[in-house]
Amino acid sequence: MKTILALEDGKTFKGESFGAEGERYGEVVFNTSMAGYQEILTDPSYKGQIVAMTYPLIGNYGINKEDSESRGIFLEGFVVKEYSKLASNWRSHQSLGDYLKENNIVAIEGIDTRELTLHIRKKGAMKAILSTIDLDEERLVKKARDSLGLVGVDLVKEVSCRKTYAWSKAKAKKYRVVVLDCGLKYNILRVLLKYGCEAIVAPAKTSAAEILKLKPDGLLLSNGPGDPEAVKYVIGTTRELLGKLPIFGICLGHQMLGLALGGKTYKLKFGHHGANHPVKDLRSGKVSITVQNHGFCVDVNSLNKSDIELTHINLNDQTSEGMRHKKLPVFSVQFHPEASAGPHDANYLFGEFITMMKRHA
């Protein structure tokens, strides 16, 4: 089935469908991971985005029952150079194409993803439309231009859980952690469990008073999609809890924490998406290869330097990747220390969170 990807600047790509029929809008971004497409598909942080994979062959190991990072697929569309119709892996129980059709996700193959990636790097991430229905290029470009986009849009409310629930309890519970679900990946919960923590997952709109009633030893602000400035209720809740609980922010959680501390955020030209981003820990000098998925960044110069310390930087573009409060038990990182998929170099940050909770118990 013929499929077209049309960008708001007038650029179009023609290919073939290997997912569901339909028409979907979103910001088109590229992901540089070589594997882990199931984890990428099920990362709620991609809500509102059409994801293009730079690795040319996708789908060769199928889909399994263990590697999903959330309750479903939240991205708007999927773009690859070549879809592997043969899924060969002992863990596979379904092909990628069937999985996308089952979840009503529009997908395109057969386009030059190198050209698309270079175009996004030059022009920046932009609004786009992916369609198997309307094949009129001019009309599709206009639809892309007229679509909502990401800036100023609260996407957290569309991916957060609806009610509070407890993740599997650790056999030897050390600490209780409330995880504010802004679009969290399940591996955050798995890693907390490995560290002996009981994780209580709460909807993003949970108030500070409700969080304190759960008597947690710490609060984790999860990853999630979209513009952090639009999620004012989480920013307000975080501001109320500063100094009352140890707080660890990841990705969107890091950005919202920056805003709660009085800082500002800005949109990156084409974002950071992939499992191979080098990040330097300025405290130790150690460089970790990290998993990243974000289109916004904290402006470290907008923060009070007497209170906030920059702890990590991205070695590709020197943007801020981590910070900590000098007086309060608060720190955060822009990347994903829980990985999944990807390298586990930054897993040590969960150990720092445990130490912080121990110190402030």
Concerning whether 182 is annotated as a catalytic residue, the answer is: no
Which residues does 28 contact at the CB level (< 8 Å), separation at least 6?
5, 7, 49, 50, 51, 52, 79, 116, 120, 125, 126, 127, 128
Concerning whether 102 is annotated as a catalytic residue, the answer is: no
126/138 Cα distance (integer angstroms)? 16
Catalytic residue among 39, 251, 277, 325: 251
187/185 Cα distance (integer angstroms)? 5
* Euclidean distance between the first and the last CA atom of the chain, given in angstroms as a whole number: 59
DSSP 83: E
222/63 Cα distance (integer angstroms)? 25
Q: Residue type at 224?
A: G
Concerning whether 197 is annotated as a catalytic residue, the answer is: no
Distances (CA, A) of 94 to 99, 212, 215, 281, 360: 7, 43, 42, 40, 47
Catalytic residue among 119, 254, 272, 336: 336
Catalytic residue among 27, 76, 321, 338: 338
The catalytic residues are 251, 336, 338
